[in-house]
Chain A
Amino acid sequence: MMNMWRNLPEMDLMRSEKMTFCQLIIPVESAHRAVTYLGELGLLQFRDLNDDKSPFQRTFVNQVKRCAEMSRKLRFFKDQIQKAGLLSSGVPTLQPDVDLEALEVQLAEHEHELIEMNANSEKLQQTYNELLEFKMVLQKAGGFLVSGKSYETAEGRELDENVYPSDYPDSASLLEQATQSGPAITSGLRFISGIIPKSKVLLFERMLFRATRGNLLFNQEPADDLILDPISSEMVEKIVFVVFFSGEQARTKILKICEAFGANCYPVPEDLTKQSQITQEVLSRLSELETTLDVGIRHRNAALHSIGFHLALWMNMVKREKAVFDTLNMLNFDVTKKCLVGEGWCPVFAKPQIQEALQRATFDSNSQVGVIFHFMEAVESPPTYFRTNAFTNAYQEIVDAYGVAKYQEANPAVYTVITFPFLFAVMFGDWGHGICLLIGALVLIAREGKLSSQKLGSFMEMLFGGRYVLLLMSLFSIYCGLIYNEFFSVPYHIFGASAYRCRDTECSEAHTIGLIKYRDAYPFGVDPSWRGSRSELPFLNSLKMKMSILFGIAQMNLGIMLSYFNSIFFNNSLDIRYQFVPQMIFLNSLFGYLSLLIIVKWCTGSQADLYHVMIYMFLSPFDDLGENELFWGQRPLQILLLLAALVAVPWMLFPKPFILRKRHAERFQGRTYGILRSTEMDSDSEPGSARHHEEEFNFSEVFVHQMIHSIEFVLGSVSNTASYLRLWALSLAHSELSTVFYEKVLLLAWGYDNFIIRLVGLAVFAFATAFILLMMETLSAFLHALRLHWVEFQNKFYGGDGYKFKPFSFAAIADDED
């Protein structure tokens, strides 16, 4: 029996890959190439040997800096390309590997060129902007000046007429000013015209008003065109203004304020002929500049385009180089300074591949000395590495989200592949909804190639990552839906006619008394006639509740079995004898027995009350069972089971810690003077290493730990079994919800003979189905299935305190960028 277990073929996913700690001694001249090849292979995880050094004290810091500088330039190009609105052609041509030095020079050239072009075009743009603004000011302000003149004179005359009669000396003096300035625009009253961003105009006007104490006239009009802001390169709305004022002091003040607000002032001649002349001039220069600018931009775009052609490739290259140097920085120089020494983890199977890569590196770099690659002993536990494929990856992720498996620990993902979608489906049993999910999953899988290459939103990415989970979930929910006989909550006679019929032709008693059975049971799943009958709910509840308990007990037993495999694997007979066996006995003598009763009741059609049986098994085990007896010898069996369960508790609590203490005492008997070790070993093992810790044994700690563990198991077996009842609850909720939407929305609306009401009803039904049943219910069933796996299943055996194998790999680096 034992041998049979051991000789089973190994399951790939069950145990993580065998890892080994290895040391590389690489001659300096081939180091870069070796690490590059290893990165392409992606199967070696380097350990940082220079942990104590800060980044700029490491060996290859200069190269890392150069890479950072290059990637800065590349980001600059990318930014420029995006700003120019060019799409970088996403075809990274596989040109022969450019030398890094050559690339550096090339990049510097490109950057220089680009910066120069930018500066030129910026200058041109600025001149262009100025001219454009000048043109606008000329157009608008000219209008003000003309109207302003007439306005001023009109105002003056009005004042003349209206205010003159009143004798206030103040107003008189004011008036004098006004009358003087009225006709004498050319002499006393001056103006400044300019242009200012719209957002600032209000503050600007207020400030001018305050500075001149209100002695000014502020005219404004929005400019026709938007003007490019050179700093943010956005189009800004601007406003042309003309300020009329008097006095030299006011002029300096206003000019200062203009400067402070970033308003550009342009002189506008008052003479109309001169104005039109200047306008002509400006216009001609503008058109000239425009052509120059166009040419410049075209030139720049061409340059950017040629850069953009290689950009993706270059970025990838620089990123890889940087990763290589970062890795090289983790290596140590040996004493002679001619070799680099690296340490790391690799899977055992990868040894030939790694050796081949290293040989290739030696050969390609014409090195005299080969790379030495050998395995070493390591103190710490190796990383966990599962070789997954597209299908199993999502399930492994589900397990890893709880905790990464300890090295070579039994991996629950193997079982999760089937049990997870199945438990989901038990809660989501409806073959109509299942088909919807299936279509979604198939769409995702069919477009796999396309979707995997493009960037997705976080939600889509999650869906896409779990496409195979979704596929199995939908298949299982179709299966469970067929068993529950639900299609959007409507029963169908797929597998033949119902086993029941009405008592009379009117079928009036169907919902009160019930139906009569007239033929053999419905061949598969729930009989469609149950739907809507009086006993529908009691029947389905009883079925689903018992079913959930059966599934739960089965899965928990599987969990405990896995702990047995773990103990076998790690050669820990103590755990088998004092943990696995009593746990098995405890769980199965109580809840395993309950499962047995359920099955017996189903098979025999007995009327026995299982609650009663279970409760009185504890309260009065010696009493007669009466009508609740399901099979002969039930009472003695119950007493036996109860005793077994009672014995199992101290069995799992006490022996283990005492045996551990005894073993510890035996091991160190007579070793009061410490262990003799060879000097070689002493020099090897660092002080305070893990070996040292094992020697300390704290009995009370071990005992308390064991006590917690036992209590957790005993209480857990009750609460975990109860926890599996969520299968029933969620399944009930799902079917009730879909019934409500079907009957209260769709059928109600169909009852009216009105097209619009029917349409609305259909729409509401469709939305409710899509969003509530398909999305929210899927999510909730998913979460509950997740919990059942993480808590109820995995706590029976899963340590989950390992760490992931993170090899140095270019593929992973390329993924990181997104």
Chain B
Amino acid sequence: MYGFEAMTFNIHGGYLEAIVRGHRSGLLTAADYNNLCQCETLDDIKMHLSATEYGPYLQNEPSPLHTTTIVEKCTLKLVDEYKHMLCQATEPLSTFLEYITYGHMIDNVVLIVTGTLHERDVQELLEKCHPLGMFDSIATLAVAQNMRELYRLVLVDTPLAPYFSECITSEDLDDMNIEIMRNTLYKAYLEDFYQFCQKLGGATAEIMSDLLAFEADRRAVNITINSIGTELTRDDRKKLYSSFGLLYPYGHEELAVCEDIDQVRGVMEKYPPYQPIFGKLSYGESQMLDKAFYEEEVKRLCLSFEQQFHYGVFFAYMRLREQEIRNLMWISECVAQNQKSRVHDSVVFIF
């Protein structure tokens, strides 16, 4: 039905699209960031944020403020908005919205499992979890000893269950295979999400496949860089790449054999969309890569608002807000630790 969404989209999606576009206009602007970067204390930040949409969430916080409180409250706002949208959504938008949270779910599972492995307190770990990725029995994850138990006890009830099919082993959990599990899960999740968006068709499929392909490619690059110098074999590495995206399949072949960052760079520069990202980096440098990728992602996410009648805006909005919260966290940390010279290092302006 490509090209005909305009006729029926607003029956179910119109209200929520309006809502999400309204939320988008509440995102902090470059002027806001400039003001925030000039703040001297966290109270200044609070004061500035009280004039934005975060105001009601921060106004009742007692004065010695901590970075965690700011981030927590800002996240709470995002979660409230998400929940409101989810309540109002009908199929298939509600499923789409749920898909957005699966990534957080995977992160939370990994966080708890790693935490228990290092014998941390479960409650403490739970507080660190992203509220969007919470599910009922998440605390029970601490009981599991190996993948199989993990799956059988807890995850079978969650939407993540189907993604687990590839990583059920009886091996005991350790850091290495938890990381592999994370990436396998993520791969399965991205592929599933991609399939789902293709099934939705229309502008949603078009825009989401672009955004997800970018996400998949970024993960592929990150996996490659992180696995350089570890005992991960080339085949195992290749197994973790998602089976779509711009790099699939030939780029993956090349990435799988990369031995250092410059080789990765060589591979990526063959792909025109990624040339400018790597062009910004000097040789042998990988710290700024994250920021470059984030900037590119933000640009793409903002572009998705240019088109109407598709679900990509919801995905884009959630991602942009998360980026904004990351920015706020960075700024607050810099202010709190008197490192204001570094404030611009990791802030990605959205508008």
* A positions within 8 Å CB-CB of B: 54-57, 61, 64-65, 68-69, 72, 75-76, 200, 203, 207, 210-211, 253, 256-257, 259-262
Contacts and interface: CB of A to CB of B under 8 A. Distances in A.
A196 to B, nearest CB: 13
B62 A56 contact: no
B51 A55 contact: yes
Nearest to A53: B35
B142 A54 contact: no
B137 A54 contact: no
A259 B47 contact: no
A260 B122 contact: yes
B60 A76 contact: yes
Contact of B140 (A57, A69, A207): A207
A191 to B, nearest CB: 19
29 contacts: A54-B38, A55-B48, A56-B39, A56-B44, A56-B47, A57-B38, A64-B47, A68-B59, A69-B63, A72-B61, A72-B62, A72-B63, A75-B60, A76-B60, A203-B136, A203-B137, A203-B157, A207-B140, A207-B153, A210-B152, A210-B153, A256-B142, A257-B140, A260-B137, A260-B141, A260-B142, A260-B143, A261-B137, A262-B139
Q: Which bucket holds chain B's interface residue count?
A: 20 to 34
B35 A54 contact: yes
Nearest to B140: A260
Nearest to B45: A56
Closest 10 CB pairs of A and B: A260-B139, A56-B44, A54-B35, A260-B140, A256-B143, A56-B47, A210-B153, A69-B63, A203-B136, A207-B140
Given A54-B35, A56-B39, A69-B63, A261 B140 contact: yes
Contact of B143 (A56, A65, A68, A257): A257
Contacts of A207: 137, 140, 153-154
B59 to A, nearest CB: 7
A76 B60 CA distance: 8
A193 to B, nearest CB: 20
Contacts of A57: 38
A301 B319 CA distance: 46
B322 interface: no
B47 A68 contact: yes
B216 to A, nearest CB: 34
A261 to B, nearest CB: 7
B153 A65 contact: no
B46 to A, nearest CB: 9
B43 interface: yes
A68 B47 CA distance: 9
B47 A55 contact: yes
A75 B38 CA distance: 29
Contacts of B153: 207, 210-211
A782 B152 CA distance: 67
B206 to A, nearest CB: 40
A259 B136 contact: no
Given A256-B142, A260-B122, A65 B136 contact: no
B60 A72 contact: yes
Given A72-B62, A260-B122, A65 B139 contact: no
Interface in B252-276: none
A804 to B, nearest CB: 22
B143 A253 contact: yes
Contacts of A55: 47-48, 51
A440 B166 CA distance: 74
Contacts of B60: 72, 75-76
A48 B157 CA distance: 59
Contacts of B136: 200, 203
